[in-house]
Chains A and B, each alone.
Chain A
């Protein structure tokens, strides 16, 4: 075999590439446009997914909008806290770092828990399914689980479980809000990432109807409203809702809910601990504990009953000597 038949094309193509490359390098200097260096450094701090969650055409569009003052430095819903700070420092601004928000499907009624009223053989798309009698699920407020949100998620953060329920992976979710726009049932909500308690029901019907349709629906009994020591549960339209600003993740509501419609990550539940050297045995913590989980009299060592403590953190706040810590 003739070796030149291998080398000629390599040289020809390589040579062409070299010439064009050189020409372009020259042209790029000749036609160099002075760009605001801030745009480039902001662009470097953005995630680069071009998801459009900010409302500008891609990350480049957002970067130039920030420099032009049309967008706030924390306008990217996807950027991490550090990235937002970096962008703000490029612009010479201080940013009150907003809490990271993620999407959450507020429905726990999979096919095992919520009855189907008919079998659906149509197009594999929640929007299409919703057009026919609001979908096959007997509950007209719940997740249809056909994965329309999965398809729009730019970060691959949503999965459909075996029970045909969409579940958002909190670590992958960036809170860009695309799934929220797409969901025909409006059953996806933005919640704070740090939140450990969620009311996973979207049904606004009366308790009796909810009970017939779903095992884990909110029946509007308002036990959680009464149980909450912080008035953090709002009850409206036959549905309980958590006010995330007030909620302390004590998970008391989740324990009391008769239908288990409130999800709580009990593994993350904190426990109060008394630092004995600092404690002056004043019983202020005992008086303030909403669940009587602190034992002790004046001038007697205080003790926390671990099985009763709900980790609400009130005692930590009230202790005058900072002798209580949460862990």
Chain B
């Protein structure tokens, strides 16, 4: 596919089919780690790393191991195996390289394992029959989209902290309302590609 095709995939996965805002995948870290921009950036970096690597490896697993042996039905379990081990690896690396980030991400780092966005990208890549290049572009785009959503959201939530909000809406209720408004805003990109 041409460079233009790759660009379309990139834009599509960042904006139009944003994983959080229009596919509603990865909501758990989206709500959990979005209290501060700093941790949100860390989380999106970790997700980017895991997502891209996971997409490449699951692609190879799918077309080298599973497809030739007719084991496509093992897709989900095999992909989860890949993602789980990758997350473990990322956890170790983060703990070594940046203990502060490790502390800030806390329980959400191992939770990337169950972040459905990661598995979602891996499975969608196969469903859309992307080749390796497209897979990588799609994964990078998806994780940029995830990062964009979570960092924007964290920025808004930081301001909400000091805003005068009615007591009943404080905390998660206003966060969810914000998320839905953002989701509607992202709807504006529909039809772009």
A and B found bound together: yes
**A→B interface (CB under 8 Å):** 8-9, 12-13, 16-17, 20-21, 23-24, 27-28, 31-33, 57-58
What residues on B are CB-neighbors of A28 within 8 Å?
A: 92
- B93 near A31 with CB under 8 A, answer yes
- B81 near A33 with CB under 8 A, answer no
B41 close to chain A: CB less than 8 A: no
- A33 near B95 with CB under 8 A, answer yes
Distance between B90 CB and nearest chain A CB, rounded to angstroms? 10
Distance between A273 CB and nearest chain B CB, rounded to angstroms? 56
A190 and B89 alpha carbons, distance in the complex (Å) = 45
Stretch from B21-29, B69-77, B123-131 contacting the other chain: B69-77
What residues on B are CB-neighbors of A58 within 8 Å?
A: 107
Partner pick for A27 among B69, B92, B99, B107, CB 8 A cutoff: B92
Partner pick for B89 among A16, A27, A57, CB 8 A cutoff: A27
Q: Chain B 100-129 against A: per-residue CB contact (8 Å), 1 yes, 0 no?
A: 000000110000000000000000000000
User: Is the contact region of chain B dominated by helix, strand, or loop, or is it mixed?
Assistant: helix
The residue on B at minimum CB distance from A28 is B92
A-B CB contact pairs (8 Å), 25 listed? A8-B71, A9-B74, A12-B65, A12-B66, A12-B74, A13-B74, A13-B77, A13-B81, A16-B61, A16-B65, A16-B78, A16-B82, A20-B82, A20-B85, A21-B85, A23-B89, A24-B88, A24-B89, A27-B93, A31-B92, A33-B95, A33-B96, A33-B99, A57-B106, A58-B107
A31 and B66 alpha carbons, distance in the complex (Å) = 31
Count residues of chain B with CB under 8 A from any CB of chain A: 20
**B→A interface (CB under 8 Å):** 61, 65-66, 69, 71, 74, 77-78, 81-82, 85, 88-89, 92-93, 95-96, 99, 106-107
A8-B71, A21-B85, A27-B89 known; 16 new pairs, CB 8 Å cut-off, are A9-B71, A12-B65, A12-B78, A16-B61, A16-B82, A20-B81, A20-B85, A24-B88, A24-B89, A24-B92, A27-B92, A27-B93, A31-B95, A32-B96, A57-B106, A58-B107
- B95 near A13 with CB under 8 A, answer no
What residues on B are CB-neighbors of A12 within 8 Å?
A: 65-66, 69, 71, 74, 78
A9 and B66 alpha carbons, distance in the complex (Å) = 9
Distance between B95 CB and nearest chain A CB, rounded to angstroms? 5
Distance between B46 CB and nearest chain A CB, rounded to angstroms? 15
Distance between B105 CB and nearest chain A CB, rounded to angstroms? 12
What residues on A are CB-neighbors of B95 within 8 Å?
A: 31, 33
What residues on A are CB-neighbors of B78 within 8 Å?
A: 12-13, 16
What residues on A are CB-neighbors of B89 within 8 Å?
A: 23-24, 27
A17 and B81 alpha carbons, distance in the complex (Å) = 7
A57 and B105 alpha carbons, distance in the complex (Å) = 13
The residue on B at minimum CB distance from A57 is B106
The residue on B at minimum CB distance from A21 is B85
Distance between B94 CB and nearest chain A CB, rounded to angstroms? 9
Distance between B161 CB and nearest chain A CB, rounded to angstroms? 19
A12 and B81 alpha carbons, distance in the complex (Å) = 12
Distance between B13 CB and nearest chain A CB, rounded to angstroms? 27
Distance between A289 CB and nearest chain B CB, rounded to angstroms? 58
What residues on B are CB-neighbors of A57 within 8 Å?
A: 106
The residue on B at minimum CB distance from A17 is B81
A16 and B79 alpha carbons, distance in the complex (Å) = 10
A211 and B45 alpha carbons, distance in the complex (Å) = 66
- B81 near A8 with CB under 8 A, answer no
A32 and B71 alpha carbons, distance in the complex (Å) = 36
Indicate the member of A8, A9, A23, A28 with the most B CB atoms within 10 Å: A9
Cβ-closest 6 pairs across A and B: A20-B85, A31-B92, A31-B96, A33-B95, A24-B88, A27-B92
The residue on A at minimum CB distance from B81 is A16
- A24 near B74 with CB under 8 A, answer no
A312 and B81 alpha carbons, distance in the complex (Å) = 65
A31 and B102 alpha carbons, distance in the complex (Å) = 14
What residues on A are CB-neighbors of B106 within 8 Å?
A: 57
What residues on B are CB-neighbors of A24 within 8 Å?
A: 85, 88-89, 92
What residues on A are CB-neighbors of B93 within 8 Å?
A: 27, 31
A24 and B71 alpha carbons, distance in the complex (Å) = 25
A21 and B85 alpha carbons, distance in the complex (Å) = 8
Distance between A1 CB and nearest chain B CB, rounded to angstroms? 15
Distance between A8 CB and nearest chain B CB, rounded to angstroms? 6
What residues on A are CB-neighbors of B69 within 8 Å?
A: 8, 12
What residues on A are CB-neighbors of B74 within 8 Å?
A: 9, 12-13
A8 and B85 alpha carbons, distance in the complex (Å) = 21
